[in-house]
């Protein structure tokens, strides 16, 4: 495995994988790789937090192990679980053959079902571990993560401690539905992914859709910047920008007018109130969008 | 420590001193952050220092990002961090967003914070840093007084308009709330996160999360499968929570508050199991059943038709006596917390009140008295009823707005 990538290399490689990242993000990723520390990414929904992990796994040539968090997530579905049924069968078989057995015999690798965290720690090759939307899981769940994040090891009472052969690159994302516990935060590097600047957003659009008209991309970026300055219940993220750009490409539009905005508002807003607000303020939005790049 | 970059330019001895000095400065900086109420954990300081060997510290931008990503835990602190960083490390340029000055930063440039007047720009001298420290200490002290103001400034980035609105309503006295605001207010009540701390009891219940094997249940289940234990059930300790007994004063003097307090009690009863609620003025009535209706509208209209002494006079002692004789035996238990909502204005017999309070004190786990008049700064419990009850009360709290009610919930959680 070669030495850690430099900041520029990270940026370039991610760009090749059509992820445009700014210097700050590239730097934090570099630091996380160099220090072998987990990286906690926060930011509004749809700014590409999860995507970072996917792209990183790709450019580093590592396997991505993803743990999607949800309420009620427990140790059995995240770390490991004993295969009870198989253990029972084993005991039965041994019994039927009249052999004797030790209790340790049924607490071996053979009967262990590794879940994402254990899989990431035990993996023979280097991996990227993505713990997605950690704020959705219960607070208790964070406690499970602590051992993994600080020492990259997992303790299984019946077997002992499993230490990581290669420290995985851990990316944790959070939408800040609730505040994370300090113990978790202080084990990670922190970065907040903000909405991109209009220039960068334009770059993102043109990278994802190389065929798109440059002026249209510019206009889309301008409108997005203007929309994010307004008061919506849920502001559109980069994911929405891309959906919208795609929709406009499919419709073969060269320019955005009020009618197009009406037709495609479903790409940008998912709440009735927001859609209404968007339609009410179309003209102002368009006017502001033109000023974005000039200003 | 092996910092790649400086080593190229400095002699070994110089370098050692330089590195040492830098680490010291970083620790001082972390300290400065803490004094400005940015939480920085020791582990994070170590991270920051460890990170230095991977970065080009002669590059101010990298240095800035290194410290920011290692020391901070939330973007809420970015503005404060930026400000302090610029002051502490004497940095001129705008590091945060090179091509993208956020409005906050532009604001800052236009009106530099007063703090900058304090320390003269003077590179890396101990004296200077201690001066800064003094300064920040002053600010920290000032901060407590101007709490809300500073908070507002530092959380500018994350506030959304609805937030300030709720914030305002939360601190608004129930007395001043206009009928037009009732609807928003009801929403807020619904959003109150009422949760009583759960303690593990001694009894068990079956649970997926449990760690102990529920053998009887597993075996019972195995009988269906021909005696083979296929599924292992687990159990956990049943949670045990403190139960509440609420006595709400609905006499004329409490009129402005009682509607809101009843709404609050309604929510409370919904989330805290086994809450018993009574209202009293000259008499006492149990309203737990009425409040357990699904709609608060129905509950309120039933209340007005069934509680005939609403807005009457007050006989606290008499009502408490009635409570103790009729319900005391059943409800006065050491696992229950008694909450009295009253302003303490009493026309009844003080001796009776004292006697009843003494009985309460002996029977209940804790007594909390919520008094809306506590909002006045120099309020003293002088009225007879209040003065007589004071010695028996464990917690004496205000209850004139939502914020104070939240404090009350926090206290109940702690008990």
- B74 in reach of chain A (CB within 8 A): yes
- A251 in reach of chain B (CB within 8 A): no
Integer Cα distance of B415 and B405 in angstroms: 16
What pLDDT score was predicted for residue A243? 92
Q: How far apart are the first and last CA of chain B?
A: 49
Domains of chain B: 4-154 (no CATH), 199-240 (no CATH), 243-414 (3.40.50.410)
Q: How many helices (H) and strands (E) does chain B have?
A: 20, 9
Integer Cα distance of A124 and A90 in angstroms: 28
- A191 in reach of chain B (CB within 8 A): yes
Integer Cα distance of A126 and A169 in angstroms: 8
The architecture (CATH level 2) of A7-76+118-193 comes to 3-Layer(aba) Sandwich (3.40)
Integer Cα distance of B303 and B287 in angstroms: 8
Chain B closest-CA separation from residue A232 CA (Å):
10
User: B75: which chain A residues are within 8 Å (Cβ-Cβ)?
Assistant: 42, 192
Chain A closest-CA separation from residue B330 CA (Å):
37
Report phi then psi at A48, rounded to 5.
95, 35
Integer Cα distance of A193 and A197 in angstroms: 11
Across the interface, do B209 and A42 touch by the CB < 8 Å criterion? no
Give the one of A35, A42, A186 whose C-beta lies nearest to B54's C-beta: A35
Per-residue tens of pLDDT for chain B, all 415 residues: 444 444 445 566 666 666 678 888 888 899 889 888 888 888 889 889 888 888 888 888 888 999 999 998 888 888 889 888 888 887 655 555 443 333 333 333 334 333 333 333 344 444 444 444 444 444 444 333 334 444 444 433 333 333 445 566 667 777 777 776 776 777 677 666 666 656 677 788 888 877 888 888 888 888 888 887 788 888 888 877 778 899 988 888 887 787 788 888 888 887 777 888 998 888 888 888 888 876 777 788 888 888 877 777 888 888 899 898 888 888 888 888 899 988 888 888 888 888 889 989 888 888 999 888 887 777 777 777 788 888 899 888 888 888 888 888 888 877 7
Closest CA to B317 of B384, B238, B409: B384
Integer Cα distance of B358 and A56 in angstroms: 68
Contact B105, B157 (CB under 8 A): no
Number of other CB atoms surrounding residue B252 within 10 Å: 13
Contact B353, B381 (CB under 8 A): no
What are the structural domain ranges in chain A?
7-76+118-193, 80-114, 198-287
The torsion of the CA quartet A36, A42, A45, A46, rounded to 10 degrees, works out to -40
Chain B closest-CA separation from residue A252 CA (Å):
31
- B75 in reach of chain A (CB within 8 A): yes
Give the one of A31, A179, A187 whose C-beta lies nearest to B69's C-beta: A31
**Chain B interface mutation, best of A192, A201, A203, highest count of B Cβ atoms under 10 Å:** A192
Chain A closest-CA separation from residue B411 CA (Å):
21
What pLDDT score was predicted for residue B88? 85
What pLDDT score was predicted for residue A130? 95
Q: Would strands B336-341 and B366-370 be described as parallel, antiparallel, or unpaired?
A: parallel
Closest residue in B to A38 (Cα–Cα):
B70
Across the interface, do A31 and B208 touch by the CB < 8 Å criterion? no
The CA-atom distances, in angstroms, between B371 and each of B41, B287, B313, B383 are: 40, 20, 17, 12
User: B51: which chain A residues are within 8 Å (Cβ-Cβ)?
Assistant: 31, 34-35
The alpha carbon of B308 is separated from its chain's Cα centroid by a whole number of angstroms, namely 37
What pLDDT score was predicted for residue B15? 62
Across the interface, do B230 and A85 touch by the CB < 8 Å criterion? yes
3-state secondary structure of B24: helix
Closest residue in A to B228 (Cα–Cα):
A88
Chain A closest-CA separation from residue B9 CA (Å):
22
Closest CA to A170 of A47, A8, A52, A69: A52
User: B229: which chain A residues are within 8 Å (Cβ-Cβ)?
Assistant: 88
User: A40: which chain B residues are within 8 Å (Cβ-Cβ)?
Assistant: 73
Report phi then psi at A93, rounded to 5.
-60, -50
3-state secondary structure of B341: strand
What pLDDT score was predicted for residue B92? 58
Integer Cα distance of B374 and B380 in angstroms: 8
Low-confidence ranges of chain A (pLDDT < 70): 1-3, 295
The CA-atom distances, in angstroms, between A288 and each of A221, A244, A266 are: 11, 18, 21
- B209 in reach of chain A (CB within 8 A): yes
pTM above 0.80, yes or no: no
CA angle A101, A105, A111 (to 5 degrees): 135
B298 burial type by CB count under 10 A (0-12 exposed, 13-18 middle, 19+ buried)? exposed
Integer Cα distance of A215 and A255 in angstroms: 8
Q: Which two tokens stand for residue B95?
A: 């590091």
What pLDDT score was predicted for residue B111? 41
What pLDDT score was predicted for residue B136? 43
Give the one of A74, A182, A189 whose C-beta lies nearest to B69's C-beta: A189
Closest CA to B215 of B200, B237, B203, B233: B233
Contact A224, A201 (CB under 8 A): yes
Contact B200, B239 (CB under 8 A): yes
User: A192: which chain B residues are within 8 Å (Cβ-Cβ)?
Assistant: 74-75, 78
Q: What is the DSSP string of A25-72?
A: HHHHHHHHHHHT--EEEEESTTSSHHHHHHHHHHHHT-EEEEEE--TT
Closest CA to A25 of A7, A37, A13: A7
Residues 6+ apart with CB under 8 A from A45: A175, A234, A237, A239
- CA atoms within a 13 Å half-sphere pointing along the CA-CB vector of B140: 14
- A42 in reach of chain B (CB within 8 A): yes
B169 burial type by CB count under 10 A (0-12 exposed, 13-18 middle, 19+ buried)? middle
Across the interface, do A31 and B55 touch by the CB < 8 Å criterion? yes
What pLDDT score was predicted for residue B257? 81
């Amino acid at each position: 495995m070669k030495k850690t990538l430099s900041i520029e290399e990270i940026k370039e490689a991610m760009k090749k994988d059509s992820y445009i990242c700014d210097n700050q993000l590239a730097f934090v990723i570099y630091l996380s790789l160099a220090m072998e520390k987990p990286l906690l990414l926060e930011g509004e929904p749809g700014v590409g937090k999860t995507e970072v992990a996917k792209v990183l796994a790709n450019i580093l040539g590592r396997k991505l192990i993803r743990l999607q968090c949800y309420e009620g997530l427990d140790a059995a579905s995240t770390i490991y679980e004993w295969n009870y049924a198989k253990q029972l069968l084993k005991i039965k078989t041994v019994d039927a053959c009249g052999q004797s057995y030790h209790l340790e015999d049924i607490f071996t690798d053979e009967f262990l079902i590794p879940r994402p965290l254990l899989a990431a720690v035990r993996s023979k090759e280097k991996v990227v571990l993505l713990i997605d939307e950690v704020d959705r899981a219960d607070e208790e769940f964070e406690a499970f993560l602590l051992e993994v994040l600080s020492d990259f090891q997992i303790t299984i009472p019946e077997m002992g401690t499993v230490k990581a052969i290669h420290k995985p690159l851990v990316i944790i994302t959070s939408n800040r539905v609730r505040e994370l516990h300090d113990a978790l935060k202080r084990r990670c590097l922190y970065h907040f992914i903000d909405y991109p600047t209009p220039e960068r957003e334009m770059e993102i659009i043109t990278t994802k859709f190389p065929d798109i008209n440059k002026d249209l991309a510019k206009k889309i970026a301008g409108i997005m910047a203007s929309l994010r300055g307004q008061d919506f219940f849920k502001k559109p993220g980069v994911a929405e920008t891309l959906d919208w750009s795609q929709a406009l490409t499919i419709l073969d539009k060269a320019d955005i007018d009020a009618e197009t905005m009406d037709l495609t508002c479903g790409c940008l807003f998912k709440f009735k109130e927001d859609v209404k607000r968007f339609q009410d303020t179309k003209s102002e939005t368009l006017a502001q969008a033109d000023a974005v790049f000039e200003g | 420590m092996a910092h790649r970059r400086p080593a190229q330019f400095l002699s070994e001895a110089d370098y050692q001193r330089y590195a040492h000095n830098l680490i010291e400065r970083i620790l001082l900086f972390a300290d400065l952050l803490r004094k400005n109420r940015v939480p920085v954990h020791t582990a994070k300081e170590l991270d920051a220092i460890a990170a230095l060997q991977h970065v080009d510290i002669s590059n101010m931008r990298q240095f800035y990002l290194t410290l920011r990503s290692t020391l901070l835990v939330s973007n809420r602190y970015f503005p404060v961090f930026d400000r302090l960083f610029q002051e502490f490390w004497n940095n001129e340029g705008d590091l945060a967003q090179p091509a993208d000055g956020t409005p906050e930063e532009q604001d800052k440039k236009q009106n530099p914070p007063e703090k900058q007047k304090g320390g003269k720009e003077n590179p890396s001298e101990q004296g200077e840093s201690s001066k800064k420290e003094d300064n920040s200490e002053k600010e920290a002290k000032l901060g407590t007084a101007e709490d809300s103001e500073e908070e507002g400034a530092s959380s500018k980035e994350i506030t959304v308009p609805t937030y300030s609105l709720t914030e305002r309503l939360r601190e608004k006295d129930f007395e001043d709330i206009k009928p037009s605001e009732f609807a928003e207010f009801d929403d807020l009540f619904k959003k109150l996160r009422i949760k009583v701390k759960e303690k593990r009891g001694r009894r068990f219940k079956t649970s997926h999360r449990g760690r102990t094997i529920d053998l009887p249940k597993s075996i019972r289940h195995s009988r269906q499968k021909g005696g083979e234990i296929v599924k292992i059930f687990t159990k956990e300790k049943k949670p045990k929570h403190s139960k509440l007994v609420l006595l709400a004063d609905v006499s004329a003097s409490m009129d402005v508050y009682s509607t809101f307090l009843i709404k609050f009690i309604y929510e409370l009863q919904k989330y805290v199991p086994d809450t018993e609620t009574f209202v009293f003025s000259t008499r006492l009535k149990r309203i737990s059943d009425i409040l357990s209706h699904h709609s608060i509208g129905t509950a309120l209209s039933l209340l007005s038709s069934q509680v005939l002494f609403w807005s009457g006079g007050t006989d606290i002692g008499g009502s408490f006596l009635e409570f103790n004789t009729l319900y005391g035996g059943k409800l006065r238990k050491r696992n229950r917390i008694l909450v009295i909502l009253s302003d303490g204005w009493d026309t009844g017999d003080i001796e009776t009140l004292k006697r009843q309070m003494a009985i309460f004190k002996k029977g209940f786990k804790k007594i909390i008295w919520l008094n809306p008049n506590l909002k006045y700064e120099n309020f003293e419990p002088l009225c007879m009823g209040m003065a007589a009850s004071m010695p028996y009360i464990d917690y004496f709290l205000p209850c004139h707005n939502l914020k104070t009610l939240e404090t009350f919930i926090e206290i109940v959680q702690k008990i």
